[in-house]
Amino acid sequence: MAKYGYINTKGDFLVEPCFLKADAFNGDYARADLTFRDATSPDETGCSVDRNGKVTPIKDLYPFTSFSEGLAAVSERHGMAMKTGFVNALGNVVIQRVFQDSNNFDAGRVIISALKPGHESGRTSNYEFVLMDSRGLELRRIGITGTFASDWSDGLAVCRPEFQ
């Protein structure tokens, strides 16, 4: 199986090919997936890579996220529900795992899917989109129950509301 690494402008490998998947850098970090052989444990195959080539395995790094503004989503399963939060490039939890779903940050903002007050997890209609900042502070409840919202970008996001 082919593996990915990172090269510099001279074509020299900054990090030798050891990744099953490797994303482009966003700021100072990239997200990659180590092979099981190269990871310290199976739940630490997701990792951050910095511009000096340092690879830091991160426990429970969400498989479909990239670093944006130094943060990446991490998730863990609670019964049938996923709980998502954010870590920095060292794997330190910055925003606790309490959300259903999330996107990438842009200009210090992200759209997350949060449980509506007084509702229980399980049904899509029990969640709504919330605009949050990179400190984890809720800026406003958007008031839309949805099945999809894209990354926040330039003050806008693509949104697919839940079918009525």
Question: Whole-structure pTM over 0.85, yes or no?
Answer: no
Tokens 């001279």: give the residue.
Answer: 10
Per-residue pLDDT tens, the chain, 164 aa: give them.
789 999 999 999 999 998 989 999 988 999 998 876 666 666 667 899 999 999 998 887 766 678 889 998 888 776 666 788 899 999 899 998 888 778 888 889 988 888 788 877 767 777 788 889 999 998 988 877 766 677 777 877 777 776 54
Residue 132's CB: how many other CB atoms inside 10 A?
23
Helices (H) and strands (E) in the chain, counts: 0, 14
